[in-house]
Amino acid sequence: MSGVRGVSGARRVAAIDCGTNSIRLLIADVPAERRAGAPALRDVTRLMRVVRLGQGVDRTGYLAEEALARTFAAAEDYAALCREHDVEAIRFVATSATRDAANRDVFVAGIKDRLGVAPEVIAGEEEAALSFAGALSSVGTSGPTIVVDIGGGSSELVLGTETPSAQFSMNVGCVRITERHLHSDPPTAAEIAVATADIDAAIDEAERHVDLSAATRLVGLAGSVTTITAHALALPAYDSAAIDGTHLSVEQIHDACSALLHESRQERGAHGFMHPGRVDVIGAGALVWSRIVARVHARTREAGHPIDDARTSEHDILDGIALSAAARA
C-alpha cells in the first residue's frame, strides 16, 4: 500500500477491532502534528459488523467454525476497503474471545491470509489502555476519569487523567453474561439475580486494582453503552452524532438499562435504534453498565464528590488503535 494521504500532512491508517460480538473498521487520517482544539483524527470510514466470533467460547473454549467463517468474510470486505482507500498501515487487534480460544492459531492464520497483517491478540490491560486513549482523543482531559468499555466477552475499567494510572479487565460482557445466565425471553428474576451476583463479584475484583472513589468523571464506550443511550434519548433511529457526548444522570441510565433488560427480544427489536445483532445480548450489556454506574456513584458519594452522571462517547478502542497505528508507521 502506497499510503497516499487524504489530508495534507496526515497519515492514512486502518484500525480493526475484533471482539466477541462484532468486528469494526476505522479508516482515518491522523495528522502528523495535532493542533490545540483540533480532532485527533479524521474519519474516512467507520463500519461495524456483528459476527459473534465468541459464539460458545465461554462454554467450549474453542472458536466455532461458523463464527470463524463469518469473521473471515468480514475481514475480506475490510481488506478491499483498505485497498480502495490506499491506507498506509493496518493494525488489527483481537480481544476477549480470541484470548480465551484454544484454536486461536486458526483465526490468526486466516486473518493474515486475508489482510496481510497478523492480528494482535492483546491482553486486557492493553485493551483498556487503547480504549482510554481513544476516549480521551474526543473528550479531552478533565481530572481523574474512569473509562468503561463494555464488550461482548470482557469489560475494561481504566482510571487516569492524561494516561492510565490503573486498569482492570473483567471477564463479564454482553455475550458472556447472556450465554452464562440469561436464557429466558425475557430473562427471569432468578436469572437476573444470578447474573447480577456474577457481575458484582467481577466489580469487587476490579476494585482491588482500580480506585473508583478517585474519579471525578465517568465515560462509557462501545455498543452496549451507546445503545442504552439511544434508548434513554428515545431516538427513532440510531444517530451517532446525537449519542456522542451525551450526559445521562444515574437515574436515566438505571431506567434505560432496566427497561432493556426486562424487555422481550421482540420488544427490543422493535426499537428503531437497535442493531439486530444486539437484540439478544443488550439486556446483559445493560445489566453490566447499570451495576458499574451504581458502584462508581456509591464510591464517589462515600468520598464526598459523587459522580451523578456519565458521558457516552462514540470514540473508543478503534480510535486508540488508529492512533497507535499512525505512531508505529
Hey, where are the domains in the chain? 10-124, 139-317
Q: What pLDDT does 2 receive?
A: 43
All 3 cell numbers of residue 105? 492459531
Q: Where are the alpha helices (DSSP H) in the chain?
A: 57-60, 65-84, 96-100, 104-115, 124-139, 174-180, 189-207, 222-232, 240-243, 250-262, 265-269, 282-302, 317-328
All 3 cell numbers of residue 123? 491482553
Half-sphere exposure of 206 (CA within 13 A, CB side): 29
Starting at the edge strand that comes first in sequence, how are the strands of the sheet with 22-31 ordered?
42-50, 22-31, 10-18, 89-94, 120-121
Q: What gap in Å lies between CA 279 and CA 272, rounded to an integer?
A: 12
329 residues of the chain, pLDDT tens digit each:
444 444 457 889 999 999 888 899 999 998 877 665 556 788 899 998 989 888 887 788 888 999 999 999 999 999 999 999 999 999 999 876 677 788 888 999 999 999 999 998 887 778 878 888 888 887 766 789 999 999 888 898 999 988 889 999 898 999 899 999 999 999 999 999 999 999 999 999 999 999 999 999 999 998 899 999 999 999 999 998 999 999 999 999 999 999 999 999 999 999 999 999 899 999 999 999 999 999 999 999 999 999 999 999 988 889 999 988 888 76
Beta-strand relationship, 217-221 and 155-160: unpaired
Q: Do domains 10-124 and 139-317 have the same CATH topology?
A: yes
All 3 cell numbers of residue 7? 489530508
Mutual angle of helices 282-302 and 189-207, in 10-degree steps = 50
Eight-state DSSP code of residue 187: P
Q: Which CATH superfamily is domain 10-124 in?
A: ATPase, nucleotide binding domain (3.30.420.40)
Architecture of 139-317 per CATH?
2-Layer Sandwich (3.30)
Q: What pLDDT does 317 receive?
A: 87
Q: Which of 98, 322, 316 is nearest to 225 (CA)?
A: 316
Q: What gap in Å lies between CA 319 and CA 134, rounded to an integer?
A: 5
**Helix count (H) and strand count (E) of the chain?**
13, 11
Q: Contact at 8 Å (CB) between 278 and 227?
A: yes
